[in-house]
Amino acid sequence: MAGSQYEQVLARLREASRILKLEPGIFEILAEPERTLEVALPVEMDDGSVKVFMGYRCHHSTVRGPAKGGVRYSMDVCMDEVKALASWMTWKCAVAGIPYGGGKGGIRVDPARLSQNELKRLTRRYVYSILPIIGPEKDIPAPDMGTNAQIMGWFVDTYSVFTGVLSPGVVTGKPIPIGGSLGRREATGRGVVFAVRELFARLGKKPSEIACAVQGYGNVGSITAELAHELGCKVVGVSDITGGVYNPAGLDVPAISKYVAEHKFIEGYTAPGVSIVSNEQLLTLDVDLLIPAALQGQITEANADQIRAKFIVEGANGPTSAEADRILEEKGVLVVPDILANGGGVVCSYFEWVQNLQNFYWTEEEVNTRLDGIMTRSFAEVWDFAKQRNLSMRTGAYILSIGKVAEAIRMRGIFP
Protein backbone atom coordinates (compact mmCIF):
# COMPACT_ATOMS: atom_id res chain seq x y z
CA MET A 1 0.00 0.00 0.00
CA ALA A 2 3.01 2.23 -0.30
CA GLY A 3 2.72 5.17 -2.61
CA SER A 4 1.26 8.59 -2.10
CA GLN A 5 -1.77 8.41 -4.38
CA TYR A 6 -3.20 5.19 -3.01
CA GLU A 7 -2.48 6.47 0.50
CA GLN A 8 -4.67 9.49 -0.34
CA VAL A 9 -7.49 7.10 -1.28
CA LEU A 10 -7.03 5.12 1.95
CA ALA A 11 -7.03 8.31 4.06
CA ARG A 12 -10.45 9.23 2.68
CA LEU A 13 -11.72 5.65 3.03
CA ARG A 14 -10.60 5.51 6.69
CA GLU A 15 -12.29 8.82 7.52
CA ALA A 16 -15.60 7.84 5.88
CA SER A 17 -15.47 4.33 7.39
CA ARG A 18 -14.96 5.79 10.87
CA ILE A 19 -18.03 8.04 10.53
CA LEU A 20 -20.03 5.17 8.99
CA LYS A 21 -18.86 2.79 11.76
CA LEU A 22 -18.09 0.32 8.95
CA GLU A 23 -17.37 -3.27 9.95
CA PRO A 24 -13.57 -3.90 9.97
CA GLY A 25 -13.98 -6.82 7.54
CA ILE A 26 -15.70 -4.66 4.93
CA PHE A 27 -13.07 -1.94 5.36
CA GLU A 28 -10.38 -4.60 4.71
CA ILE A 29 -12.17 -5.66 1.50
CA LEU A 30 -12.47 -2.07 0.24
CA ALA A 31 -8.87 -1.17 1.18
CA GLU A 32 -7.44 -3.70 -1.30
CA PRO A 33 -8.21 -3.98 -5.03
CA GLU A 34 -9.82 -7.27 -6.06
CA ARG A 35 -7.41 -7.84 -8.92
CA THR A 36 -4.29 -6.23 -10.40
CA LEU A 37 -2.47 -7.21 -13.58
CA GLU A 38 0.95 -6.01 -14.73
CA VAL A 39 1.98 -6.89 -18.27
CA ALA A 40 5.15 -6.48 -20.34
CA LEU A 41 4.35 -5.36 -23.88
CA PRO A 42 6.99 -6.03 -26.56
CA VAL A 43 6.38 -3.83 -29.63
CA GLU A 44 8.24 -3.78 -32.94
CA MET A 45 9.02 -0.13 -33.67
CA ASP A 46 9.01 1.41 -37.14
CA ASP A 47 12.83 1.17 -37.36
CA GLY A 48 12.72 -2.61 -36.73
CA SER A 49 13.91 -2.42 -33.10
CA VAL A 50 11.87 -3.95 -30.27
CA LYS A 51 10.87 -1.99 -27.17
CA VAL A 52 9.14 -3.37 -24.10
CA PHE A 53 6.53 -1.15 -22.41
CA MET A 54 4.88 -1.83 -19.04
CA GLY A 55 1.08 -1.99 -18.90
CA TYR A 56 -1.36 -2.23 -15.99
CA ARG A 57 -5.01 -2.97 -15.30
CA CYS A 58 -6.72 -2.94 -11.90
CA HIS A 59 -10.20 -3.96 -10.75
CA HIS A 60 -10.83 -2.26 -7.42
CA SER A 61 -14.36 -3.62 -6.94
CA THR A 62 -16.85 -5.52 -9.08
CA VAL A 63 -19.39 -6.09 -6.32
CA ARG A 64 -21.97 -3.72 -7.90
CA GLY A 65 -21.22 -4.53 -11.55
CA PRO A 66 -18.42 -4.85 -14.10
CA ALA A 67 -15.25 -2.80 -13.56
CA LYS A 68 -15.32 0.52 -15.39
CA GLY A 69 -12.48 2.94 -15.96
CA GLY A 70 -10.16 4.60 -18.40
CA VAL A 71 -6.83 3.64 -19.92
CA ARG A 72 -4.11 6.29 -19.81
CA TYR A 73 -0.91 6.44 -21.82
CA SER A 74 1.57 8.48 -19.79
CA MET A 75 5.11 8.28 -18.43
CA ASP A 76 3.66 8.68 -14.91
CA VAL A 77 1.57 5.49 -15.09
CA CYS A 78 2.40 3.00 -12.35
CA MET A 79 0.44 0.44 -10.33
CA ASP A 80 0.02 2.84 -7.39
CA GLU A 81 -1.64 5.46 -9.64
CA VAL A 82 -3.83 2.85 -11.36
CA LYS A 83 -5.02 1.44 -8.00
CA ALA A 84 -5.91 4.94 -6.76
CA LEU A 85 -7.81 5.83 -9.93
CA ALA A 86 -9.65 2.47 -9.92
CA SER A 87 -10.79 3.12 -6.33
CA TRP A 88 -12.08 6.59 -7.25
CA MET A 89 -14.07 4.97 -10.07
CA THR A 90 -15.75 2.61 -7.57
CA TRP A 91 -16.95 5.58 -5.50
CA LYS A 92 -17.85 7.66 -8.55
CA CYS A 93 -20.10 4.94 -10.02
CA ALA A 94 -21.75 4.39 -6.62
CA VAL A 95 -22.41 8.14 -6.12
CA ALA A 96 -24.05 8.30 -9.56
CA GLY A 97 -26.05 5.14 -8.80
CA ILE A 98 -24.93 3.30 -11.94
CA PRO A 99 -24.30 -0.49 -11.86
CA TYR A 100 -20.52 -0.52 -12.22
CA GLY A 101 -17.49 -1.10 -10.05
CA GLY A 102 -14.15 0.66 -10.40
CA GLY A 103 -11.36 -0.20 -12.79
CA LYS A 104 -8.41 1.60 -14.36
CA GLY A 105 -5.49 0.82 -16.61
CA GLY A 106 -2.58 2.33 -18.44
CA ILE A 107 0.73 1.99 -20.21
CA ARG A 108 3.92 3.77 -19.19
CA VAL A 109 4.63 5.52 -22.50
CA ASP A 110 4.79 9.00 -23.99
CA PRO A 111 2.27 8.61 -26.86
CA ALA A 112 3.61 11.77 -28.56
CA ARG A 113 6.90 9.94 -29.25
CA LEU A 114 5.22 7.04 -31.11
CA SER A 115 4.01 6.96 -34.70
CA GLN A 116 0.37 6.11 -35.42
CA ASN A 117 1.38 2.56 -36.40
CA GLU A 118 3.50 2.09 -33.26
CA LEU A 119 0.56 3.28 -31.12
CA LYS A 120 -1.70 0.82 -32.90
CA ARG A 121 0.68 -2.10 -32.34
CA LEU A 122 1.16 -1.12 -28.68
CA THR A 123 -2.61 -0.87 -28.14
CA ARG A 124 -3.32 -4.22 -29.79
CA ARG A 125 -0.60 -5.92 -27.74
CA TYR A 126 -2.05 -4.39 -24.54
CA VAL A 127 -5.57 -5.62 -25.41
CA TYR A 128 -4.19 -9.11 -26.10
CA SER A 129 -2.32 -9.09 -22.76
CA ILE A 130 -5.30 -8.00 -20.62
CA LEU A 131 -7.84 -10.03 -22.66
CA PRO A 132 -8.58 -12.55 -19.84
CA ILE A 133 -9.93 -9.84 -17.52
CA ILE A 134 -11.83 -7.50 -19.90
CA GLY A 135 -15.17 -7.88 -21.66
CA PRO A 136 -18.63 -6.24 -21.80
CA GLU A 137 -19.68 -8.10 -18.64
CA LYS A 138 -16.29 -8.05 -16.84
CA ASP A 139 -14.40 -4.80 -17.35
CA ILE A 140 -15.12 -1.97 -19.80
CA PRO A 141 -12.16 0.36 -20.48
CA ALA A 142 -12.49 3.91 -21.88
CA PRO A 143 -10.24 6.76 -23.05
CA ASP A 144 -8.30 8.79 -20.50
CA MET A 145 -5.19 10.94 -20.54
CA GLY A 146 -3.13 10.21 -23.68
CA THR A 147 -5.80 8.00 -25.27
CA ASN A 148 -8.75 8.80 -27.54
CA ALA A 149 -11.65 7.44 -29.60
CA GLN A 150 -9.28 6.01 -32.26
CA ILE A 151 -7.41 3.95 -29.64
CA MET A 152 -10.79 2.64 -28.41
CA GLY A 153 -11.55 1.67 -32.01
CA TRP A 154 -8.41 -0.51 -32.03
CA PHE A 155 -9.53 -1.97 -28.69
CA VAL A 156 -12.89 -3.02 -30.14
CA ASP A 157 -11.29 -4.52 -33.25
CA THR A 158 -8.59 -6.47 -31.38
CA TYR A 159 -11.03 -7.84 -28.80
CA SER A 160 -13.57 -8.74 -31.50
CA VAL A 161 -10.95 -10.52 -33.64
CA PHE A 162 -9.86 -12.67 -30.65
CA THR A 163 -13.42 -13.52 -29.53
CA GLY A 164 -14.86 -13.92 -33.04
CA VAL A 165 -17.82 -11.67 -32.18
CA LEU A 166 -18.17 -7.94 -32.86
CA SER A 167 -18.27 -6.53 -29.31
CA PRO A 168 -18.62 -2.73 -29.33
CA GLY A 169 -19.59 -2.89 -25.63
CA VAL A 170 -16.05 -3.94 -24.57
CA VAL A 171 -15.07 -0.25 -24.35
CA THR A 172 -16.78 3.14 -24.26
CA GLY A 173 -15.64 6.43 -25.76
CA LYS A 174 -15.47 4.82 -29.22
CA PRO A 175 -15.88 6.58 -32.57
CA ILE A 176 -19.59 7.08 -33.42
CA PRO A 177 -19.53 4.78 -36.54
CA ILE A 178 -18.59 1.73 -34.42
CA GLY A 179 -21.05 2.18 -31.58
CA GLY A 180 -19.90 5.34 -29.82
CA SER A 181 -22.52 7.50 -28.12
CA LEU A 182 -23.51 10.97 -29.21
CA GLY A 183 -22.61 13.47 -26.47
CA ARG A 184 -19.89 11.28 -24.93
CA ARG A 185 -16.97 13.59 -25.78
CA GLU A 186 -18.57 16.54 -23.97
CA ALA A 187 -20.11 14.54 -21.12
CA THR A 188 -17.49 15.05 -18.38
CA GLY A 189 -17.29 18.81 -18.90
CA ARG A 190 -21.06 19.04 -19.26
CA GLY A 191 -21.49 17.16 -15.96
CA VAL A 192 -19.07 19.55 -14.20
CA VAL A 193 -21.16 22.52 -15.36
CA PHE A 194 -24.39 20.79 -14.24
CA ALA A 195 -22.73 20.56 -10.79
CA VAL A 196 -21.81 24.29 -10.97
CA ARG A 197 -25.40 25.13 -11.90
CA GLU A 198 -26.86 23.05 -9.06
CA LEU A 199 -24.41 24.51 -6.52
CA PHE A 200 -25.23 28.15 -7.28
CA ALA A 201 -28.98 27.47 -7.57
CA ARG A 202 -28.86 26.22 -3.95
CA LEU A 203 -26.83 29.24 -2.84
CA GLY A 204 -29.21 31.66 -4.56
CA LYS A 205 -26.47 33.06 -6.82
CA LYS A 206 -26.83 33.82 -10.54
CA PRO A 207 -24.10 32.50 -12.88
CA SER A 208 -23.53 36.10 -14.08
CA GLU A 209 -22.34 36.97 -10.53
CA ILE A 210 -19.64 34.28 -10.64
CA ALA A 211 -16.05 34.83 -11.78
CA CYS A 212 -14.32 31.51 -12.41
CA ALA A 213 -10.95 30.05 -13.40
CA VAL A 214 -10.42 26.67 -15.08
CA GLN A 215 -7.11 24.81 -14.74
CA GLY A 216 -6.57 22.43 -17.66
CA TYR A 217 -7.70 22.96 -21.25
CA GLY A 218 -7.86 19.41 -22.53
CA ASN A 219 -11.14 17.65 -23.29
CA VAL A 220 -12.64 18.21 -19.83
CA GLY A 221 -11.33 21.72 -19.12
CA SER A 222 -12.07 23.24 -22.52
CA ILE A 223 -15.67 21.97 -22.60
CA THR A 224 -16.17 23.01 -18.96
CA ALA A 225 -14.93 26.53 -19.78
CA GLU A 226 -17.13 26.75 -22.90
CA LEU A 227 -20.27 25.53 -21.13
CA ALA A 228 -19.62 27.67 -18.01
CA HIS A 229 -19.31 30.66 -20.38
CA GLU A 230 -22.62 29.64 -22.05
CA LEU A 231 -24.24 29.30 -18.61
CA GLY A 232 -23.36 32.95 -18.01
CA CYS A 233 -20.34 32.63 -15.69
CA LYS A 234 -17.52 35.12 -16.22
CA VAL A 235 -14.53 32.91 -17.10
CA VAL A 236 -11.52 35.09 -16.18
CA GLY A 237 -8.67 32.53 -16.23
CA VAL A 238 -7.78 29.32 -18.08
CA SER A 239 -4.53 27.37 -18.32
CA ASP A 240 -2.96 24.25 -19.80
CA ILE A 241 0.45 22.59 -19.56
CA THR A 242 2.10 25.59 -21.32
CA GLY A 243 0.68 28.18 -18.90
CA GLY A 244 -2.44 30.32 -18.71
CA VAL A 245 -4.21 33.57 -19.54
CA TYR A 246 -6.12 35.92 -17.26
CA ASN A 247 -8.46 38.86 -17.82
CA PRO A 248 -10.46 40.12 -14.79
CA ALA A 249 -13.06 41.54 -17.22
CA GLY A 250 -13.68 38.05 -18.66
CA LEU A 251 -12.07 35.99 -21.43
CA ASP A 252 -13.43 35.29 -24.91
CA VAL A 253 -13.69 31.52 -24.35
CA PRO A 254 -14.84 30.60 -27.91
CA ALA A 255 -11.82 32.53 -29.31
CA ILE A 256 -9.43 30.65 -26.96
CA SER A 257 -10.95 27.28 -27.97
CA LYS A 258 -10.56 28.22 -31.65
CA TYR A 259 -6.91 29.20 -31.00
CA VAL A 260 -6.21 25.93 -29.13
CA ALA A 261 -7.87 23.89 -31.91
CA GLU A 262 -5.40 25.45 -34.38
CA HIS A 263 -2.25 25.62 -32.18
CA LYS A 264 -2.84 22.73 -29.69
CA PHE A 265 -1.88 24.90 -26.67
CA ILE A 266 -2.90 28.18 -25.02
CA GLU A 267 0.70 29.44 -25.22
CA GLY A 268 0.90 32.37 -27.63
CA TYR A 269 -2.74 33.43 -27.30
CA THR A 270 -3.11 37.21 -26.99
CA ALA A 271 -6.04 39.63 -26.78
CA PRO A 272 -6.61 43.10 -25.30
CA GLY A 273 -6.61 43.04 -21.48
CA VAL A 274 -5.20 39.51 -21.30
CA SER A 275 -2.15 38.82 -19.12
CA ILE A 276 -0.05 35.65 -18.84
CA VAL A 277 -0.26 33.55 -15.65
CA SER A 278 1.37 30.26 -14.65
CA ASN A 279 -0.61 27.17 -13.67
CA GLU A 280 0.34 27.83 -10.05
CA GLN A 281 -0.86 31.46 -10.24
CA LEU A 282 -4.13 30.38 -11.85
CA LEU A 283 -5.01 28.34 -8.76
CA THR A 284 -4.65 31.40 -6.52
CA LEU A 285 -6.49 33.99 -8.66
CA ASP A 286 -9.08 36.22 -6.99
CA VAL A 287 -12.16 34.36 -8.27
CA ASP A 288 -15.41 33.02 -6.80
CA LEU A 289 -15.12 29.58 -8.39
CA LEU A 290 -12.07 27.45 -9.17
CA ILE A 291 -12.39 24.39 -11.41
CA PRO A 292 -9.25 22.21 -11.37
CA ALA A 293 -9.65 20.09 -14.52
CA ALA A 294 -6.06 19.00 -15.18
CA LEU A 295 -4.11 16.36 -13.24
CA GLN A 296 -4.39 14.95 -9.73
CA GLY A 297 -2.47 16.48 -6.82
CA GLN A 298 -2.70 20.15 -7.84
CA ILE A 299 -4.06 21.61 -4.59
CA THR A 300 -1.80 20.60 -1.70
CA GLU A 301 -0.92 21.75 1.81
CA ALA A 302 1.77 23.93 0.14
CA ASN A 303 -0.72 26.12 -1.75
CA ALA A 304 -4.18 25.52 -0.18
CA ASP A 305 -3.92 28.52 2.16
CA GLN A 306 -3.26 30.81 -0.85
CA ILE A 307 -6.46 29.82 -2.67
CA ARG A 308 -8.88 32.75 -2.79
CA ALA A 309 -11.85 31.02 -4.47
CA LYS A 310 -14.81 30.41 -2.13
CA PHE A 311 -15.99 27.43 -4.20
CA ILE A 312 -14.10 24.58 -5.89
CA VAL A 313 -15.76 22.17 -8.31
CA GLU A 314 -13.35 19.36 -9.19
CA GLY A 315 -13.19 18.44 -12.88
CA ALA A 316 -10.03 16.34 -12.51
CA ASN A 317 -9.64 13.11 -10.53
CA GLY A 318 -8.01 13.69 -7.14
CA PRO A 319 -6.86 17.30 -7.67
CA THR A 320 -6.96 18.06 -3.92
CA SER A 321 -4.88 16.24 -1.30
CA ALA A 322 -6.40 15.13 2.02
CA GLU A 323 -4.15 17.66 3.85
CA ALA A 324 -5.29 20.48 1.54
CA ASP A 325 -8.92 19.49 2.18
CA ARG A 326 -8.49 20.19 5.89
CA ILE A 327 -6.98 23.63 5.19
CA LEU A 328 -9.77 24.52 2.73
CA GLU A 329 -12.43 23.38 5.18
CA GLU A 330 -10.95 25.59 7.92
CA LYS A 331 -11.05 28.52 5.47
CA GLY A 332 -14.72 27.82 4.73
CA VAL A 333 -14.15 26.86 1.06
CA LEU A 334 -16.99 24.70 -0.28
CA VAL A 335 -15.61 21.85 -2.41
CA VAL A 336 -17.81 19.80 -4.77
CA PRO A 337 -15.70 16.60 -4.96
CA ASP A 338 -14.44 14.83 -8.07
CA ILE A 339 -16.43 11.65 -7.42
CA LEU A 340 -19.61 13.74 -7.79
CA ALA A 341 -18.65 16.64 -10.07
CA ASN A 342 -16.80 14.80 -12.85
CA GLY A 343 -19.10 11.76 -12.95
CA GLY A 344 -20.64 12.88 -16.27
CA GLY A 345 -18.08 10.93 -18.29
CA VAL A 346 -18.76 7.58 -16.66
CA VAL A 347 -22.53 8.20 -16.65
CA CYS A 348 -22.42 8.79 -20.41
CA SER A 349 -20.12 5.75 -20.79
CA TYR A 350 -22.84 3.77 -19.05
CA PHE A 351 -25.35 5.12 -21.60
CA GLU A 352 -23.01 4.08 -24.44
CA TRP A 353 -22.64 0.56 -23.02
CA VAL A 354 -26.42 0.21 -22.60
CA GLN A 355 -26.93 1.33 -26.21
CA ASN A 356 -24.30 -1.22 -27.37
CA LEU A 357 -25.90 -4.09 -25.42
CA GLN A 358 -29.37 -3.25 -26.77
CA ASN A 359 -28.12 -2.28 -30.24
CA PHE A 360 -30.53 0.66 -29.92
CA TYR A 361 -29.11 4.17 -30.19
CA TRP A 362 -30.28 7.49 -28.73
CA THR A 363 -30.23 11.06 -29.99
CA GLU A 364 -27.77 13.56 -28.48
CA GLU A 365 -30.70 15.36 -26.86
CA GLU A 366 -31.81 12.11 -25.14
CA VAL A 367 -28.25 11.49 -23.90
CA ASN A 368 -27.89 15.03 -22.50
CA THR A 369 -31.34 14.99 -20.86
CA ARG A 370 -30.63 11.66 -19.14
CA LEU A 371 -27.18 12.90 -18.08
CA ASP A 372 -28.75 16.04 -16.59
CA GLY A 373 -31.25 13.87 -14.69
CA ILE A 374 -28.62 11.63 -13.09
CA MET A 375 -26.16 14.45 -12.28
CA THR A 376 -28.93 16.59 -10.75
CA ARG A 377 -30.24 13.68 -8.67
CA SER A 378 -26.83 12.64 -7.38
CA PHE A 379 -25.90 16.27 -6.56
CA ALA A 380 -29.13 16.66 -4.56
CA GLU A 381 -28.52 13.38 -2.73
CA VAL A 382 -24.96 14.37 -1.67
CA TRP A 383 -25.90 17.99 -0.86
CA ASP A 384 -28.85 16.99 1.35
CA PHE A 385 -26.94 14.17 3.07
CA ALA A 386 -23.93 16.42 3.84
CA LYS A 387 -26.10 19.33 5.04
CA GLN A 388 -28.21 17.14 7.37
CA ARG A 389 -25.10 15.71 9.03
CA ASN A 390 -22.97 18.88 8.93
CA LEU A 391 -20.30 17.19 6.78
CA SER A 392 -18.21 18.43 3.87
CA MET A 393 -19.60 17.44 0.47
CA ARG A 394 -16.58 15.19 -0.07
CA THR A 395 -17.11 13.29 3.18
CA GLY A 396 -20.83 13.09 2.43
CA ALA A 397 -20.18 11.71 -1.07
CA TYR A 398 -17.68 9.14 0.24
CA ILE A 399 -20.01 7.99 3.02
CA LEU A 400 -22.92 7.60 0.59
CA SER A 401 -20.85 5.71 -1.99
CA ILE A 402 -18.98 3.49 0.50
CA GLY A 403 -22.33 2.75 2.16
CA LYS A 404 -23.79 1.56 -1.18
CA VAL A 405 -20.78 -0.69 -1.93
CA ALA A 406 -20.73 -2.05 1.64
CA GLU A 407 -24.44 -2.87 1.40
CA ALA A 408 -23.83 -4.81 -1.84
CA ILE A 409 -21.02 -6.79 -0.12
CA ARG A 410 -23.38 -7.64 2.77
CA MET A 411 -26.17 -8.69 0.39
CA ARG A 412 -23.86 -10.92 -1.68
CA GLY A 413 -21.92 -12.34 1.28
CA ILE A 414 -18.35 -13.59 1.28
CA PHE A 415 -17.43 -16.55 -0.96
CA PRO A 416 -17.04 -19.39 -0.08
pLDDT digits (tens, 9 = 90+) for 10-42: 988 999 999 999 999 999 999 999 999 999 999
pLDDT digits (tens, 9 = 90+) for 345-360: 999 999 999 999 999 9
Tell me the average pLDDT of the chain: 95
Report the relative pairing of strands 311-313 and 234-240 from DSSP bridges: unpaired
Domains, the chain, ordered by start: 33-166 (3.40.50.10860), 187-341 (3.40.50.720)
Torsion angle defined by CA atoms of residues 178, 148, 356 and 87, in that order, rounded to the nearest 10 degrees: 170
Q: What confidence score (pLDDT) does residue 317 get?
A: 87
pLDDT > 60? residue 69:
yes
Give yes or no for a contact between 405 and 61, defined as CB atoms under 8 angstroms apart.
yes
Contacts of 171 (CB under 8 A, 6+ apart): 140, 141, 142, 152, 155, 156, 159
Q: Are 86 and 103 in contact (CB under 8 A)?
A: yes
What mean pLDDT is predicted for residues 196-219?
96
Average pLDDT over residues 62-73: 98
Question: Which tens digit of pLDDT belongs to each residue from 300-348?
Answer: 999 999 999 999 999 998 899 989 999 999 999 999 999 999 999 999 9
Catalytic residue among 104, 120, 174, 234: 104
The CA distances from residue 22 to 15, 28, 66, 404, 405, in Å, are 10, 10, 24, 12, 11
Global confidence as pTM: 0.94
pLDDT higher than 60, residue 1: no
Q: Is 60 exceeded by the pLDDT of residue 3?
A: no
Q: Reply yes or no on whether 104 is catalytic.
A: yes
Residue 98's nearest CA partner among 415, 401, 409, 388 is 401
DSSP state of 135: B
C-alpha 320/C-alpha 83 separation (Å) is: 17
Q: Work out the burial of residue 189: count CB atoms within 10 Å of its CB; fewer than 13 is exposed, 13-18 middle, 19 or more buried.
A: buried
Quick: pLDDT tens for 262-290: 999 999 999 999 999 998 999 999 999 99
| Nearest in space to 268 (alpha carbons), one of 310, 240, 301 | 240
Q: Where are the alpha helices (DSSP H) in 21-105?
A: 24-31, 79-96
Predicted pLDDT at 297: 87
Q: Check residue 2 and give its pLDDT.
A: 39
Q: To the nearest whole percent, how much of the chain has pLDDT over 90? A: 93
How far, in Å, CA of 225 to CA of 238, rounded?
A: 8
